Amino acid sequence: MSQHKAIGFIGLGVMGEPICRNLVNKSGARVIAFDLAPEPLARLKSDGVAAAASVADVIGSSEILFLCLPSARHVRAVFEGDGILENIRQGQIVVDLGTSSVSQTRDFARQLQARGASWADAPIARTRQAAQDGTLSVMVGATPELYAAIEPLIRCFATDVTNCGGTGAGQVTKILNNMVLFETVNALAEAVAIAKRNGVDPALLLDTLSKGSADSFALRNHGLKAIVPGNFPERAFSTEYALKDLSYALELASDAGIKIRGAELIGQILQEAIDAGSGGAYFPVIAKYLG
């Protein structure tokens, strides 16, 4: 299905590994991957993914490169040095699947454009299970021409793909998605805490709310599956990652001269959970510290 003969992939974490697996199994293209950890590379070998020795090796062996990295800092690390900018070739495409700084995204896109290459922001949304099932939602920032070139490959691991506008628009949309999610999860945590103190079963509360105007994806997933049972595993979407993503929303608001009090408050709440030792836990752990 792919016009690309070779796909590069950097970042094989909780989301990156299953995304890479779906790419190699569905695209019909050769996939070469790199990660600092050897374990996911070993697991993907049985799917036909080739292991690269370095970031430069991936770039030199592929036509289109996917990044699935934890933060803007990690993206910058593979962009600079003996990385993307140093080794990029004319006509190559870089697709960033992580949630990252909008200003950095646009800066990197300008630098690649000067080299005759392209950068698309395509941050992913939904759960680890969705990554495994190939049912992610992806919000893309790209020109119509670039979007047309990358959409078929993105659909190897996503069922909902939206072109949100030009460079950076995908990041803006995903950052705001997460901002709304974090604030909603905090509201659910507060509702559960109050229900417990007043003799109402939290599971009954959220099940009932799901039948009315308070229903949401966050309620049915983060509320019923995490807050109610007190299930806050490691290696899920952590409190530290949540605060990192929220910082991008606060940066956007500051640049626009908009004061977002709700987001500022959830930032304080996330930081308190981190300070209490839950930085690596699934971010609905904020419910643990109410009351």
In the DSSP assignment, the letter for residue 282 is B
Cα separation, 71 vs 121, in Å, equals: 13
Quick one: tokens of 139? Answer: 């919000």
Listed in order, strand segments (DSSP E) in 62-102 are 64-67, 93-96
Sign of CA dihedral 51, 56, 57, 62: positive
Please say whether the beta carbons of 147 and 140 come within 8 A.
yes
Distances (CA, A) of 113 to 36, 72, 110, 140, 221: 28, 19, 5, 17, 40
CA neighbor of 202 nearest in space, from 70, 113, 291, 122: 291
Quick one: tokens of 158? Answer: 């996503």
In three-state secondary structure terms, 115 is coil
Per-residue pLDDT tens, the chain, 291 aa: give them. 446 689 999 999 999 999 999 999 999 999 999 999 999 999 999 999 999 999 999 999 999 999 999 999 999 999 999 999 999 999 999 999 999 999 999 999 999 999 999 999 999 999 899 999 999 999 999 999 999 999 999 999 999 999 999 999 999 999 999 999 999 999 999 999 999 999 999 999 999 999 999 999 999 999 999 999 999 999 889 999 999 999 999 999 999 999 999 999 999 999 999 999 999 999 999 999 997
- Amino acid 257 reads G
Rounded to two decimals, what is the model's pTM? Answer: 0.94
